[in-house]
Structure 1
Amino acid sequence: MTQMRFGQGTNRITGTVVMDRRTKCLVKRIQPGQIAVIDHPDLDEVAAEELVENRVRAVINAASSISGVYPARGAAYLIRSGIPVVDRAGADIFCRLQEGDRIWLDHDRVGKVGESQAVVRGERLSAQTVWEKIHQTQSHFNQTVVAFMENTLHYAVSEKRWFMRPLAVPGMYTQLKGKQVVVVVRGTGYKEDLAAIYHFIKAERPVLIGVDGGADALLQCGWKPDVIVGDMDSVSDEALCSGAELVVHAYPNGDAPGLERVEKLGLAAHILPGMGTSEDVALLLADQEGAERIIAVGTHSHIIDFLEKGRNGMASTLLTRIKVGGKLVDVSGIRHFYPPKTERRRKAPLWAAVFSAPMAVAALPGSFTIDDSWLRMVWLSLRLWYFP
């Protein structure tokens, strides 16, 4: 179905409604060409990326996609991708429309197909209005930053004793001691960052831990997660049934709401109580079980990340990173340093490598064999650079 951009031809768009107050639940079932109705204040870029990947026809947000708390960029991502956005439609839309209704969008008006009267009205966003809102938000963002810092430090002081205690790790069959461990979290750019370290994973075969939806990213890249850690609310059934060892993140008191879903699938899981986020618990688990190095992909590490998750501080993450220390290598954003393979080939044509590699080998001392580390490193670099 052809997408129609606002401002191109008629403004009227029609489609079938899929509704959910939780965007991460909606993206699991919406089909290309359908219209998403969400209730997502300060729409984040990760949610917007998933809506774009699902090729939705339009998005109607009951809430404000940019409330002014921080410069949320999800709406900008949707509009840049050619997906119309009707904002601030109001919570009543969940009463006035039902899943499966055929509706029309005409500028800022939303109605049912066959009826001329609008059901609700919102604000149709354009690229200009979105960037104006983002600019206005940035002008008083410093106040938000100060409040965030104060909240983080306050809770870090009160929670530090808890983080010094060892986790009550259950008896796991996946061995982490002495291994390199990749922990994949559903954060901004996590799929691209994971793809950027594809060759590292292929060469080193580290233990793969998916944190909730991070397990699905591993599957999409062709890897099976060894362990899945989380409250199991944003991971697919496919990932849960992939054969990974399941660790349900529970509240410190042992209550584990995510266990019910796992049991409904007929699967077994460990319960791991822990304060903080599931990604904190995954990092602490890998550290405590003796991982040699922990490579983090898509983790949340700055104020925008946490405001997008609806958190007003990052005490648990600050304490986790202090405790894990130099063992942690955060590769979030690595996609910016490694262009697509086709670009790399343009920068350095294959014939250059073919002719230069034998010359380098010929210059080696006679005692240098193919098993020596230097030559193996050259060969691995060439292989990772030019071949899958």
Structure 2
Amino acid sequence: MSQGDVVILDQLDLDRATADALVRAEVAGVVNASPSISGRFPNLGPEVLVGAGIPLIDGVGQDALRAIKEGSKVRLLDGTVYVGDREVAQGTPQTVESVADQMIEAKAGMSAQLEAFSANTMEFLRRERTMFLDGIGVPQLTTVMKGRQVLVVAPGHEHVADLKALKRYIGEHRPVLIGVESGADALRAAGYKPDVIVGDPNGIATETLRAGAEVVVPAHPDGHAPGLGRIQDLGIGAVTFPASGNAEDLALIIADTHNADLVVTVGFQATLREFLDRGRSGSNPSTFLTRLKVGGKLVDGKAVAALHRSRVSVLAIVLLVMAAMVAIAAAVAVSGVGAAYTDWITETWNSFVVWLKGLFS
């Protein structure tokens, strides 16, 4: 998938994570064999796509997947999909207005999703209770987090802009920097060196992995860790974290278990609509319980940036005072009484030196 491509997919209830990836890739259009909005709940993907101006054609059917070969030149026009000059499928073109209308209708399906979410949460807690309650299985790292603030950067919505807005906070507090998957690349691109990297190494740049951070590779409960082979090929040390949560949640658990004072997040989404979004369905219980566990330590990066935006640093105050003193000195020097003040200061200084010498004679 690259810039200018038309992406053909089959995903019921298009989620935000997929839509964000399509927007970042700057695709020219998206054709979905299934309905992007089924009405079960207000999923976020279609809103992201149409908001970015990317054409979205829905419900073209399974035949379109077979008729459109990879690499074909595809053209979209009023809900019709053409390969060359040949019409191969028809669907429903989505617009900002049509998506908004369907979102209103989809909210009616949220109650059933919430019931399923509750049941999944109880099952997840039963399976992972020792890790959540006792910290068993959480890797012990050499990076000191106790008594320090921790900044966790994940590749979420507007994470690059949010990280940029935290420049003053990072400069003042020097937090421990944890990069989650390509969030580690974002840290390095912004000029920072991650202290800890959490995630599948296959989605992280080699230069970032070799920057000296401690690497934590999430593993399945059976111990299999996707991407560990790449770490071994690069000759980089790493530890595994067997758990069924996603990498974002594991990073928060690591910070909390290592007794961080405050955990600031960038690129994290945990609204009700995000919980119900299809792309997070497998990790919703983990996300929900992790937020409860970390509790009062957790602060969104947008709030931190807003607080620091209005603060004046001590250095700025010192520079302001020095500038005022220089201005006063310059005014005295060019005034008519400047010479008199200079003579008085000189005589006072000489008298002080004579008095000081007398103390030691």
Partner in structure 2 of residue 84 of structure 1: 55
Instruction: Check conservation: 2:6, 2:27, Cα contact below 8 A.
Output: yes
Partner in structure 2 of residue 101 of structure 1: 72
Change (3 A) 1:151 1:128: same
- Name the count of aligned residue pairs: 319
Residue 71 of structure 1 deviates from its aligned partner by 1.2
Residue 233 of structure 1 deviates from its aligned partner by 5.2
Instruction: Check conservation: 1:196, 1:338, Cα contact below 8 A.
Output: no
Q: C-alpha distance in 2, partners of 1:82/1:335?
A: 31
Change (3 A) 1:93 1:269: farther
TM-score by length of 1: 0.70
Q: Deviations over 1:270-304 (max 9, x none)?
A: 22222422222212212222323222223343432
Query: Which of residues 39, 45, 60 in structure 2 aligns to 1:68?
Result: 39
Change (3 A) 1:98 1:317: same
Instruction: Check conservation: 1:248, 1:270, Cα contact below 8 A.
Output: yes
Change (3 A) 1:102 1:38: same
Structure 2 residues not aligned, in runs of 5+? 311-315, 326-361
Q: C-alpha distance in 2, partners of 1:317/1:307?
A: 12
Instruction: Check conservation: 1:248, 1:271, Cα contact below 8 A.
Output: yes
- Which is higher, the Rg of structure 1 or of structure 2? 2
Counterpart of 2:30 in 1: which secondary structure?
strand
Change (3 A) 1:304 1:240: farther
Larger RCO: 1 or 2 (CA < 8 Å, sep 6+) = 2
Partner in structure 1 of residue 218 of structure 2: 249
Query: Which of residues 280, 285, 288 in structure 1 aligns to 2:249?
Result: 280
Query: Which of residues 306, 316, 321 in structure 1 aligns to 2:286?
Result: 316
Q: C-alpha distance in 1, partners of 2:187/2:222?
A: 31
Residue 331 of structure 1 deviates from its aligned partner by 0.7
Q: Deviations over 1:59-114 (max 9, x none)?
A: 2223322222221232223223222111223344443333322222222222222x
Q: Deviations over 1:125-162 (max 9, x none)?
A: 12222122111101332332233234324543554344
More helix by share: 2
Change (3 A) 1:320 1:186: same
Q: C-alpha distance in 2, partners of 1:299/1:324?
A: 14
- Where do 1:1-388 residues align within 5 Å? 18=1, 30-31=2-3, 33-113=4-84, 116-157=85-126, 159-170=128-139, 172-232=141-201, 234-308=203-277, 309-311=279-281, 314-326=284-296, 328-331=297-300, 333-334=302-303, 337=306
Residue type at the aligned position of 2:260: A
Counterpart of 1:147 in 2: which secondary structure?
helix
Residue 248 of structure 1 deviates from its aligned partner by 0.5
Q: C-alpha distance in 1, partners of 2:207/2:71?
A: 25
Q: Deviations over 1:223-267 (max 9, x none)?
A: 232211123454344543444321101123322123134334454
- Higher mean C-alpha deviation, range 247-256 or range 95-104: 95-104
TM-score by length of 2: 0.75
Counterpart of 1:110 in 2: which secondary structure?
strand
Instruction: Check conservation: 2:40, 2:110, Cα contact below 8 A.
Output: yes
Q: C-alpha distance in 2, partners of 1:233/1:306?
A: 26
Counterpart of 1:138 in 2: which secondary structure?
helix
